[in-house]
Structure 1
Amino acid sequence: MNSATQQSAGLPSPVAGQERRLNIGGMPKVPLMLFLFALAGVILVVAASWYTLQSLREALRGSAWDGWWITAGAGVLALASLAVVRPLWRAFQRCRGVRAAAGRMDIVAARIERSDACVQSWIALGHTLAQFLVVLGFQFLLANNQAVAKTFFLVPLIVKTFPLVLDAFWVNVKIFLIAEMLVLVWGLIVALAMFAPGAAGKPLRFIATAYVDVFRSIPAVLVIYLVGFGLPLTGVPILKDLSLTTYVVIALTLTVGAYVAEIYRAGIQSVH
């Protein structure tokens, strides 16, 4: 592109004897502060992990689950806790690469090494945070002489009550299967009632809309209490003799049916 073309295009013409240079900045430096921050985090989380494993080992050795496998498992977990050192070591190598590239005055290689050092340092910090959350969870379980663990994770009690829990879970599955079929049908009926046409269908639309709004605003557990404990007290000939499972199915159908009816309504309106 000559000077006439540059002037016609509105571009400034270069001055004679003056070269255009790209300002790419100076030689990049080692991300020392970020690396030191990651190093401190890794040291703290590894120390906290080992302390937690020691506390967990002592707690298990004082229980009925004492054995050689406790010490072996603690040793394996202690070695696994050192996994956060790997990205930190990579960050250290990249920092050395930055210094080496700067010594050779290779600005491109120095920038690449610095970028990799920052990435590895952030990876180390991310792994450190995740491991810290795990350690914090175990410390919560071991707090107050393992009060939380004994309350929620007492293995002998879990084994003893497992058949009872399994039977209750099967009842829950049956309730889910029955209620799901009824909810789909009931929700569709209510959704169609919300679209009742004309002035003749206005009362039906009002009742269906009020039902959906009311039952969506009431907690499901409250509806279960009202139906499960309220209907037997009414003395109505058929309703008072139903089983507890039937009451739960009715309550879930009324509550979840309101949500499903709203889903049906939104889907129908999106099509039309």
Structure 2
Amino acid sequence: MKKILVTGATGQLGSELSVLSTSYSQYEWIFADRTKATLDNLELLQFQLNEISPDIIFNCGAYTAVDKAENEKELAFTVNCEAVKLIAKYSKENNVHLLHVSTDYVFDGTSSVALDEEAETNPVNVYGESKLAGENCCIKECPNSIIIRTSWVYSKFGNNFVKTMQRLMQERDEINVVNDQVGSPTYAADLAQAMVNILESSKWIPGIYNYSNEGEISWYEFALSIKEFGAYNCRVGGIPSASYPTPAKRPSFSLLNKEKIKTLYNLDVPNYKESLKKMFV
């Protein structure tokens, strides 16, 4: 029985994989939180990998506090780059299939067309820099790895935009949401299924892939959909990013082109509204 190690087990994606794992009992699933796969302690992480001895690694663990990363650059790079380098090196040396999860934040947001895997990277914040460095280490140390870039992840687990909006829309009469950042949300359950489908397919094709739900929207439009499905009475207004300053700059356009993953792995990617509705059921 092949053993799958999932890092970041208590995060949104790790939690959705945990739910999904019950349908794939032909694998031995090891769900490792930060105590079992300690991404900020490389010496300990090396020991943990040797102890677990996985056949497949889904590296879902990451430093994701985008604003805090501006002041915690060293920690962000340790988790998002150095730990990835170590995992990739281990994977190469032990013939492990590594699937590493990355982000749309490797882009600068200046594009006006959906970004494919060959689009030029140019992160505008420390988090994006650390994730891009991790991608580069992953490819260099383990050329056989698969990297999936995703965006705007949400789930019924953990903290995310959808849950924040649900809370605010019940607490307040009116909220404002930025309307000049464009992309597409990703329901973590859909991404988890896509990862397992890749594993279950008869082919392992290394390289970078994009995955998010279909649809081109702003955060404001996303909030309107949340209001619709939740039947909230809260008024939702759209504001420019300049009216909502944050320590870390965000890319203003990061819509991902999913043609590569859809074609090579015959994946059906749901529209964002279809997936968002599932969270409300």
Q: Fold conserved (TM > 0.5)?
A: no
TM-score normalized by the length of structure 2: 0.20
Highest RCO, 1 vs 2 (Cα 8 Å, sep ≥ 6): 2
Which one has a larger percent helix, Structure 1 or Structure 2? 1
Which one has a larger percent strand, Structure 1 or Structure 2? 2
TM-score normalized by the length of structure 1: 0.20
> Rg bigger for which structure?
1
